[in-house]
Amino acid sequence: MEEISFYKSLNTPNHSEIYHFLNCGLVLCLFLIVYHAETVEPILSTSKHMDKSFAYKFLHPWLGLGLLTSTGEKWRSRRKMITPTFHFAILAEFLEVMNEQSKILVDKLNSHVGKGTFNCFMDITLCALDIICETAMGTKIQAQNNSDSDYIKAIYEMSDMIQCRQKMPWLWPDFVYSRLKAGKNHDKNLKILHGFTDKVETILERAEELKNDEATTNGSADKKSKKRSAFLDMLLKVTDDAGNTLSYKDIREEVDTFMFEGHDTTAAALNWSLFLLGSHPEIQAKVHKELDETFGQSDRPVTMDDLKKLRYLETVVKEALRIYPSVPFFARTITEDCTIRGFLIPKGVNVVIVPFALHRDPETFPEPEEFRPERFLPENSSGRNPYAYIPFSAGLRNCIGQRFALMEEKVVLSTILRNFSVKASQKKEEIRLLGELILRPQDGIWIELEHRTPSSVAQTL
């Protein structure tokens, strides 16, 4: 359906009656779906429509009112406080973790080499979970050595339940939902998710460790080596303009948000990238060539300077996010009457922005279903409407962790591809998409792996 049909329905002679009806306390809401750059821009480019849609309230029991779900002054204050923790210099400290966990992943993938097709989805996901847990919480959980993770299962079940509840109005009232089997399963998974972040290492314990570290800054040489910095450490230190620190609840909200957004979205993006590279050997060969030119015969860890050189790999990641955006849609609430393409959009309307469709606009991306990383070379992307490609949203509420995510994806992918050649075992039309909170393949990502050496690839190019 064309967007314009939605706009026309809002501007019929009976429009005022429709809107009045929707505000009579009935369980009905008005949604506007947009998926062209010129209709997305008026929503994302302003500070007026920054409130998340009501549908996000079903995330509140899990994530509280952190950066993803909060609105108004709370969001503005929290964003201002947390933004410095994503500074480039701080992100560089996490590179060691990404390298270590990528190496563990490669060791696991070695067992599949030459043994036919296998589903790599969970291997990649557990690697991403290990990375975010150590960088967010400062503690190793060794998820890659525990494939039967209750936390992973709980995340997927919770995401599915939230998505189902969002699209079924009869499940919206809490007093109804809590009495249903789905509601009881929701609460069970919520205990697992919150118990995980509490069990890993409590915020109070981490705060006490930081105090001890500061007290022994100039201690003796036999002092224990300082623990790696984590987002949690920085959250314990940040203050607002009035000098106030975050409360235990505030920090818990942000940690839960980091754990969810920081592993699930990245895991999906990594899997989609591997699938697309495995489906296009000619593009994979270009990535291998760039890796060989950067690393040669060495198996050394990835450095920040290396990441700057991996320009073609970055275009691959961006093109994969264009075709398979980790977040296929998100929603805002119109907080005051506005105009889009000449049509009046009244206050209170829920606007659903669909990157999955937006990224397939043939006017911006000719032959949009084709995998062409060259679209994101500087000479090809210059002048493109910035709202035509929004895998990390856009405007003031863009994803605060997008640099962290791109950095992680380049480290993990480069480590895998320095060691293996990947062949996809599925055709694109065979992939069944699950458009939930995160865009996933219903049946996983099935690939085959073969060992490779830099010299052998170089000779074929």
Express each pLDDT in 234-281 by its tens digit: 888 887 777 778 888 888 888 888 888 888 899 999 999 999 999 999
Which CATH number does 3-214+228-459 carry?
Answer: 1.10.630.10
What strands lie across the sheet with 118-119, from one edge to the other?
A: 118-119, 446-451, 420-424
| 90 or 355, greater pLDDT | 355
Band (pLDDT 50/70/90 cuts) for residue 223 is: very low
Residue 142 has φ and ψ, to the nearest 5°, of: 55, 50
Flag whether pLDDT at 151 surpasses 70: yes
- Pick the closest to residue 425 from 444, 411, 410 (CA basis): 444
Report the greatest alpha carbon distance in the chain.
80
DSSP state of 367: S
Q: Note the pLDDT tens digit of each residue in 306-339.
A: 999 999 999 999 999 999 999 999 999 999 999 8
Q: Are strands 433-435 and 343-345 parallel, antiparallel or unpaired?
A: unpaired
The more confidently predicted of residues 8 and 62 is 62
Contact by Cβ (8 Å): 271, 121: yes
- From 8-12, 114-118, 352-356, 439-443, the region with the lowest mean pLDDT: 8-12
Q: Has residue 350 got a pLDDT over 80? A: yes
User: pLDDT by residue (tens digit) across 46-58?
Assistant: 988 888 888 899 9
Q: Is the pLDDT of residue 378 over 50?
A: yes
Delimit the domains of the chain by residue range: 3-214+228-459
Q: How far apart are CA 189 and CA 256, in angstroms?
A: 14
Read off the pTM. 0.87
Round the average pLDDT of the chain to a whole number and report it.
86
Collapsing DSSP to helix, strand or coil, 51 comes out as: coil
Give just the sign of the alpha carbon dihedral 128, 306, 281, 416: negative
Q: How far apart are CA 397 and CA 349, in angstroms?
A: 19
